Amino acid sequence: MTFLRDLPLSALRALAATARTGSLTRAADELGVTPGAVGHQLRQLEDRLGVKLVRREGNGIALTRIAEAALPDIDRGFDALTSGLRRLRFERRADTFTVAADPSFASLWLAPRLGNVRAALGKLDVRVVVSIALDAMLEEGIDLAISYRNSSARDLASADLFTERVIPACAPALMRNRSDRDGAAVLDRLPLLHIDQTMGDDVYPTWRDWFTAAGLQRKDLDHGPRFPLTVLAAQAAISGMGALLASELVLREHLGSGRLVEIARDVPALTIRRRLVWPVDGPKARRAAAVAAALAAVATAEAGDPLLVGS
């Protein structure tokens, strides 16, 4: 029991990584430490057990016979630990309903409407996290994702939330005259601001998509400042750094206050459909379907909103 109480997990991980890679350097890269640290952990484990575990073999490292015999049990032990930790994580979230959405949308549209889905949540506490890849929903314990992607996985259900207009906008101070707002010529001279694609939202239109749809050309389409969130990019646009291509829904507040103006309005706006995705099976699958239906009902009730298309 004393041995188990002081189990050297880091040293055992070093042994397993060395066995997989056959190299202290590659094992160190896998574990995020230095080769010297891996070697030190292996020596400490050998000293503690009183047996030789690794030996030099050419330019690499190989396990001794006794270490090879023990490795399957060590691997099974790590698998069991991982399974146990995953179970603890899901148990901790048993009373929580987790929604994944991009931060800009979550703060500007989702959060103000969570009260509308309180009945569908029942006694569960809602937890909002950043967007993830849809194929990682089950592993990450996500009960509902709001994403631009359309999953075809059989274990995931989906429904449309609404379609958004994606428009160019900039600070009014960058307009030379009123005609700049309507024509696309203004975008030949303004710096372009970019939003980095996030997990699950890599279908979001870019400036290259907009110029292609408009039948226009510009050589430096990929140049310009980049931002991880739309809300940050919007602040840069407000300060006059350049033109931003973003969802009109997310830019609603700035457009309404006049801090930003839509430009190139003679060019038809791009659109993109936002979707609700949730697991088909699981302890909260029915709850997820109910929350998705409640959010869809909110969107339907707001169908007259000019910022939403075909809700």
**Domain 96-162+273-305, CATH number (from 3.30.360.10, 3.30.342.10, 3.10.310.30, 3.40.190.10):** 3.40.190.10
Summarised one tens digit per residue, pLDDT across range 210-219 is 999 988 888 8
Mean pLDDT per 10-residue section of the chain, whose length is 311 residues: 58 83 82 81 83 81 82 78 63 75 87 90 88 79 86 82 92 78 80 77 82 89 88 93 92 92 89 91 89 92 58 37
Same fold, 96-162+273-305 and 163-271: yes
E-strand spans in 223-269?
Answer: 226-227, 243-247, 261-262
What are the helix and strand counts (H, E) for the chain?
A: 14, 12
Summarised one tens digit per residue, pLDDT across range 74-125 is 778 777 777 666 665 554 556 789 999 988 888 888 999 999 999 998 888 8
Domain covering 163-271, topology: D-Maltodextrin-Binding Protein; domain 2 (3.40.190)
Q: Report how far apart, in Å, the C-alpha atoms of 248 and of each of 50, 188, 257 are.
A: 67, 21, 13
The pTM of the full predicted model, rounded to 2 decimals, is 0.63
Domain boundaries defined on the chain:
2-92, 96-162+273-305, 163-271
Which distant-in-sequence residues (6+ apart) come within 8 Å of 252 by Cβ? 108, 307
Summarised one tens digit per residue, pLDDT across range 8-22 is 778 888 888 888 888
- CA angle 98-119-142, nearest 5°? 10
Q: Which residue is it, tokens 């931003």? A: 244
CATH 1.10.10.10 fits 2-92, yes or no: yes
Between CA 206 and CA 203 the distance in angstroms is 9
Which distant-in-sequence residues (6+ apart) come within 8 Å of 181 by Cβ? 175, 261, 262, 263, 264, 265
